[in-house]
Structure 1
């Protein structure tokens, strides 16, 4: 052995009970001060545990920052009722507006003649998908903030009223656009109301997504994107006219809304959650095809007035958002105990 060598104490206390005197250049027994809001592993910190698909900061003595919320249930109580109310709101927009034109044999023949022009139709489709892309980017950004910013996430879990405030503002904007033709057709009023609606909708979806783990939200977003793309391609290619199915889809949406309200009073059941989410995802998948064909016009029996590009973009936007949340509900139910 090297006679000048002296064994240095370990960087942290050992379990033999002897301990050691702090040496220059070595950390104190409790470790260095916590970095990034969490103490080091040696000071007793345990990684936050996840229960099912929901993030849990509770029962963690090493957690720093805001007071952790009470241990969450499997999603917010009444989640089905929230989604049922949202589905009803989406259905209301279609029925109140009355923006559908009948086929070329009746109704507004001038608008139908202009919409039959391929140049007009292509310009209308580009405008709708341009608006829709901006809406989805804004919504995704807001949801990401709620999912990845822990302080905001905890606040959203602890304050359920945020959802209903956003829901109320969304309803006001929707009623204004549905009942007042000038609001949804004249610029810049239509873009102002659409922007407010999109921000409120993103805020509302963010407060719901905050109850789910980040990976569940990302998986649901990926599945929703793939399904939406596949259904859009199908709607453009198929010869079957889905625009005649509006009455059936309206009835199914009403049943879905009533079932969601009933789920508020039922005890939590993972299979009920998965079944309800599957039914909602199926209905709004059909709505994506239906609204896409309404936008396309052409040989379909019903189509949308070319001036109603805000209405067409809003319908597709609500279809995609509802599909995303019902897919997230399925993932949440499959991960719950």
Structure 2
């Protein structure tokens, strides 16, 4: 089913989670302490020290998350009505700080490092940017948001599954930053594209809309299931396109079209990445830790607004071609056929 099929928690549960989470984090830390000690001793057997690394990283990320929630509480106490002229900017600073701390922890404990393949063009100064990114492997969403925020100097506005509201920090912070939580499939009558359109329309000149057109993380199993579904639905052309892609899922085009129609003045960045896409199960991720010999390699292509198609059919053909190019690049980099 994936995250897209999980509904958001009810409002009452969201409020309870926000209060209970710091207490829960303290309890988790207490439970993790003997695991960390055991992992330290086990590193004499496992030279990659995976148990020690993962447990330390997990505790560190939990407290990054809690710290962000407490920063949100501090801002709420300072401005109970959210009427500060710098309300959104204050939360954006909290977000960027949290991303930086998370990436430092990921590099220290898991050897996770972002490496650029070629020059990264940030788009036209004074114009918003829309980024369509491949979705695959552990941590790609955080890594790409960090890259756009710290390297490109663009504030990410993210489209993400509403199931992530079960994390009270994500729920609180990203709601205040005007991100869009896509309703689950169970949300009857929801126009899941309308929110994407509204988010794109509200972009400031230094923002970037980060959208993952595949809708879910790539895995070989998801690829096979999607091909079967497309064939069963009689969508033979889309099925053939999916068959031609070995490392990506075919992009869902409604959100792409909606965002480009809402902001025809926006430049567009296509973001591909390689190195982690085949790590789709806990066992595969565990075996690869630490990632010191496996950089998170990112390649981008940026198009001026005038060079991007503006008709729905042309946009669909264009994004499909871009995804085929990403797929070919990943195959070349990872040596897969």
Q: Where on the TM-score scale, by shorter chain, does this alignment land: which range?
A: under 0.3
The TM-score normalised by the length of structure 2 is: 0.25
The TM-score normalised by the length of structure 1 is: 0.25
Task: Identify the structure with the greater helix proportion.
Answer: 1
Task: Identify the structure with the greater strand proportion.
Answer: 2
